[in-house]
Amino acid sequence: MKLTERIHSYQPINEQEKVDKQTILDFIANNSDALSRNNQVAHLTSSAIIVNQAMDKILFVYHNIYQSWSWVGGHNDDDPDFLHVALKEAKEETGVKKIVP
């Protein structure tokens, strides 16, 4: 499914999400480089929150630039497959080899 189709299929739970959804769709429609870090205004990225099987622990990484703990993720670099990018970034940033979406 194309990115815009996924976003169109999302059902906002409130007015703010409805506005945000339209803002994202407009941005993608008006920016052919929406998935590239070369877009200096904004660009879409992929992230992952990693939990253990019991779902009682979360794996965060320490971000040296921002001096804070965070979930993992990174730039799509023109890759429209957000799950692929999120899994790749999760493995790269944590060293965990088996991650199940």
Give pTM, 2 decimals: 0.83
Handedness of CA 54, 55, 57, 62 (dihedral sign): positive
Q: pLDDT of 43-98, one tens digit each?
A: 999 999 999 999 999 999 999 999 999 999 999 999 999 999 999 999 999 999 99
Can you list the alpha helix ranges (DSSP code H) found in 2-46?
3-9, 15-30
Domain ranges within the chain, ordered by starting residue: 1-30, 34-96
Q: pLDDT of 7-32, one tens digit each?
A: 999 999 999 999 999 999 999 999 99
First to last CA, the chain: 17
Q: What's the token pair of residue 47?
A: 């992230």
Q: For residue 68, give the amino acid letter.
A: S
